[in-house]
Structure 1
Amino acid sequence: MNIVEKILARASGEPLVRPDDLVVGEVGTAVMIDGMFSPAMWREILKVADPSKIVIVFDHLVPAVDAASAASHAVGRAFARRFGIRRFHDVGREQGISHVIATDYAYALPGTILVNGDSHACGGGAFNCAARGVGYPDMYLAITKGEAWFRVGETIRYELVGTLPPGVSAKDVFLHIAGTYGGHVNQNIEFGGPGMAGLGLNARRTLAVMGAELSAQFTIFEPDELLIDYVKRRSTQPFHPTWPDADAGYREVRTIDLSAMRSLVALPDAVVNSSVPVGEAEGVAIDQAFIGSCANGSLDDIEVAARIVAGRRVPPGVRLIVTPGSQEIYRAAAGAGHLQTLAEAGAVVTSATCGACIGGHMGVLGPEETCITASTRNFKGRMGHPSARIYMASPATVAASALAGRIADPAPYFQP
């Protein structure tokens, strides 16, 4: 069996699972976000299966942007008190985007199942966790009975080889996959191979998060020493690093040569089959540049942006907005001086939130505006007005574009 099949088999108590099987498996972690507590959508829960397996994270509209979001937070706080939910990330020091929190705090444990009411939960797959977003009925099942059901999909294996060139990142690798192979509807994605050693956990999380944009069920990485050591430092919970069997079955095995990757841009309104070399979009004037979200709000992403803008200024008429993925990342970036560098260049650095990525607050686009974003989605109306045009690229490309006032290649900033 491959990795996802082995995790689902273990969780369901089955000796073997195959594509098209339906399984009911034990949920290791159920993550509830602030939107789930909206009074208009909330359904009263009378019991929970295990409070220690529930995580609550306020992330979408944080701090509260209006009376409705404040009411959602109040419902969530009452729920946490009622059932003694200790892993509660309210507005404050331990707040952040739920998918980042799941990895910052090692809630997404290797070899286990994690569910979340938000589609980008698949980011937990960077940690060898079978993580995915599910609908609210399935979330209620996970919370009250501690289980969830899944249809086993076929798996595409990506064998990573080589090393990324300077200035090229995991976001560019994703854009290559999306542009070359298109959607992975109802399929799983498995990453492994010798090239994985050159990708840090943040880079892997970018690739795992973006699996949602390929319509994949699960996106998962093989475990390695880097991951296992990280989890051991941050969690005392038992976990099960899971590798594929030598004879594991795949729909297809594809090789990605990381050394051949180049900076890419996804054109507005689509991610799949929309990638072009940055040179083909170069020169498009922009109004806003955004770096953040669960895909690209890591310390690595903020560091590369600060490196590019250091000693330079964003020109008038361009807004550069940077949103760390968690308050822990915010503090680390501040301690390293990155936030000061960004602010001096003219960037606005926000607290950790889904904010601009979802078109919720702190960076909403107006009519006919053009944005280049290092976030999760670029479809029409995602970040604000439906007439706005949203290009997607890596943090390096976004930072270079912010300085130029138009889409620009980041390569010159990485020349020796």
Structure 2
Amino acid sequence: MGMTIAEKILARGAQADVVRPGDLVTVKVDTAIVLDMNFIPGMWDTVRKMHDPSRVIVIHDHLIPARDVQAAEAMARGREFVERWGIERFHDVGGDQGIVHQVVADRAYGLPGEILVCCDSHTCSVGVLNCAGRGLGTPELAYVLCKGTAWFKVGETVRYELHGELPPVVATKDVFLRIAGEYGSHEGMNLEYAGPGIANLSLDARRTLSTMAAELSAEFAIWEPDDVLLDYVAPLATRPYEPVWPDAGADYRDVRRLDLAEMEPYIGLPDKVVHNAVPITELRGPVKVDQCFIGSCANGTLDDIASAAQIVHGQKVAPGVRLIVTPGSQQIYREAMRLGYIQSLMDAGAVVTPSSCGACGGLTMGLLAGNETCITSSTRNFKGRMGSRAARIYMGSSATVAASALAGEIVDPRTAGGAQALAEGLRA
């Protein structure tokens, strides 16, 4: 009996011939990432030795620019930590900074066939690079830094086979929302994305699905490698790597076929998305919005910013509506400026922020007041996520968010002004 992608990567990390669901495995970690949030409080003073500083990356992303003295002190400790251990890959406030998972994608810090860990729950995002990534608790991550290993329980795998091509203006965020609404929680399971349809998806579009797997309570969410991925990784890789495909006859909990051509815009209703997402045509409305947010580790990509800019180009955000856009990294911000997307967004009335987790996590900006309504393309919409627990948060694609900002209420992006331009341009 063969193994799935996740099982093969974990077997390699454990130096085992085979692993099966239910096994507990101790694996070598190839890359460990430390965030600014990890330096609150100063637990990192207890790290007295470092297994391999060359395999450690430090990224400041949740708290930048520093929101208060506590955040500033945390980042100061982060800089001291980097200097103390001679860590070469450090992304501080500046030109190469960004949200951790976007920086990992920009630089291909997670390589095919490897294992990457970080304290952020959306570390499964790196699965787009055919890499097994998972979030750990801070004490667990400290152990990884000292010992170079971590342990995991091997879960069953659900394989999603994608076919066809998405219709214009429909995005993989909509695909995720359909999966969440139809299939619900995937707690303790691994996800495997494959099929001929992946050739029609950009790496940005794929990464939305792997990142959002955290909201399904999945463990790892890994894509089969193809030429698009391997051509992207090859010039960025700093060491040899081995892509991983599933074995013939691999044992899956379920294999589900998704026809991308049949997808339509979806909406995640307030407070959760699991079993709580519906086609936008079934939304009971009108739903007036106060704030529209585009960004986060899942949807601050260049594809997202392009789709939003094309929809709002030459138009204005509705009176009384705040449109906040957060590029996933400074690299994306610069490219979006070069292509004119930032200009279009700002001319329409958007505020474009530094690359940070701030608005998505309700940390440093963009918080909601009581009884306000927001539509977001970020990662989570539970009560209190973006501010007041009395606020209502809907979730949709960046195209849906942009179209709703123009209308002042949640609308189908296929009917929005600028949708035709998007259909003829870059698909999110």
Matches within 5 A, 1:138-149: 138-149=140-151
Matched residues in 1 for 2:145 and 2:65: separation?
25
The equivalent of 1:339 in structure 2 is 342
Displacement of 1:239 in angstroms is 1.2
CA distance in 1, matches of 2:259, 2:143: 41
Q: Tell me which amino acid in the other structure corresponds to 2:57.
A: V
The corresponding residue for 2:257 is: 255
Q: Could you say what secondary structure the match of 1:52 adopts?
A: helix
1:350 matches 2:353: yes
Q: Tell me, in whole angstroms, the C-alpha distance in 2 between the residues paired with 1:387 and 1:405.
A: 20
AA in 1 matched with 2:365:
M
Match of 1:387 among 370, 383, 390: 390
Partner residue in 2 for 1:314 = 317
Code of the residue aligned with 1:302 in structure 2: it is I
Q: Deviations for 1:95-130, whole angstroms, at most 9, x for unmatched residues?
A: 000011111111011100000001000000011000
Q: Which residue of 2 aligns with 1:209?
A: 211
User: Superposition pairs for residues 53-132 of structure 1, below 5 Å?
Assistant: 53-132=55-134
8 Å Cα contact 2:310-2:419 kept in structure 1: no
Does 2:251 align with 1:246?
Answer: no
Which residue is equivalent to 1:364? 367
| One-letter amino acid of the counterpart of residue 361, structure 2 | I
* Equivalent residue, structure 2, for 1:325: 328
Which residue in the other structure is 1:274 paired with?
276
Corresponding residue for residue 171 of structure 2: 169
Spell out, residue by residue over 1:137-181, the C-alpha distance to the aligned partner (whole angstroms, 9 max, x if none): 210121111111000000000010011000000000000100110
Aligned-CA RMSD value: 1.0
Q: What is the correspondence of 1:230-245 to structure 2 with a 5 Å cutoff?
A: 230-245=232-247
**2:426 match:** none
Checking the alignment, whether the CA contact within 8 Å between 1:48 and 1:144 is kept in structure 2 is: yes
- Secondary structure, in 3 states, of the residue corresponding to 1:220? strand
- Structure 1 residue 271 displacement after superposition: 1.1
Q: Distance in 1 between matches of 2:295 and 2:212?
A: 13
Partners of 2:32 and 2:232 lie apart in 1 by 21
Q: For 1:256, what is the secondary structure of its paired residue?
A: strand
Q: 1:383-407 CA distances to partner (integer Å, 9 max, x unpaired)?
A: 0010000000000000000000000
Q: Helix, strand or coil for the counterpart of 2:303?
A: helix
Provide the secondary structure at the position in 1 that maps to 2:160.
Answer: strand
- 1:27: Cα distance to partner? 0.5
2:136 aligns with 134
| 1:286 and 2:297 are equivalent in the alignment | no
Q: Alpha-carbon deviation of 1:40?
A: 5.3
Matched, 1:406 2:392: no
CA distance in 2, matches of 1:369, 1:40: 36
The secondary structure found in structure 2 opposite 1:233 is coil
Q: Tell me if structure 2 keeps the 8 A contact 1:49–1:145.
A: yes
Could you list the runs of 5+ residues in structure 1 that have no partner in the other structure? none
Instruction: State the alpha-carbon separation in 2 of the partners of residues 66 and 307 from structure 1.
Output: 36
8 Å contact from structure 1 (residues 39, 71) kept in 2: no
SS of structure 2 residue aligned to 1:357: coil
Q: Give me the TM-score of the superposition, normalised by structure 2.
A: 0.96
Q: Secondary structure at the match of 1:25?
A: strand
Moved more, 406-415 or 174-183: 406-415
Farther-moved stretch of structure 1 (8-17 vs 234-243): 234-243
SS of 1:212's partner is helix
Distance 1:64 1:390 in 2: 25
Matches within 5 A, 1:10-29: 10-29=12-31
Residue of structure 2 aligned with 1:378, choices 376, 381, 384: 381
2: CA distance, partners of 1:124 / 1:278: 29
Structure 1: distance between partners of 2:215 and 2:55: 27
Q: What is the aligned length?
A: 416
Contact (CA 8 Å) 1:156, 1:251: kept in 2 or not?
yes
Describe the superposition over 1:254-300 as per-residue Cα deviations: whole angstroms up to 9, x where unpaired: 00110000000000001100111112335200000000000000000
1:396 corresponding residue in structure 2: 399
Matched, 1:224 2:229: no
Residues 160 and 191 in structure 2, CA contact (< 8 A), matched pair in contact too: yes
Aligned residue number for residue 33 of structure 2: 31
1:73 partner letter: M
Contact 1:374/1:392 (<8 A) preserved: yes
SS in 2 for 1:238: coil
Which of these residues, 144, 153, 158, is aligned with residue 155 of structure 2?
153
> Distance in 2 between the 1:359 and 1:143 partners?
29
Question: Could you tell me how far apart the structure 2 residues matched to 1:317 and 1:236 are?
Answer: 48
The one-letter amino acid paired with 1:347 is: A
Deviates more, 1:209-218 or 1:225-234: 225-234
Q: Give TM-score, length-normalised by structure 1.
A: 0.99
Deviation at 1:43, TM superposition (A): 4.4
Contact 1:350 1:362 in 2 (8 A): no
Q: What is the deviation of 1:41?
A: 4.6
Residue identity matched to 1:304: S
For structure 1, which segment, 358-367 or 322-331, has the greater mean C-alpha deviation from structure 2 after superposition? 358-367
Can you give the 5+ residue segments of structure 2 that lack an aligned partner in the other structure?
424-428
Indicate the percent of aligned positions where both proteins have the same amino acid.
58
C-alpha displacement of 1:414: 3.1
2:42–2:77 contact (8 Å) kept in structure 1:
no
In 2: Cα distance, 1:45 partner to 1:149 partner: 19
Whole-angstrom distance in 2 between the partners of 1:222 and 1:207: 13
Shift of 1:36: 0.3
- Cα separation, 1, equivalents of 2:41 and 2:89: 22
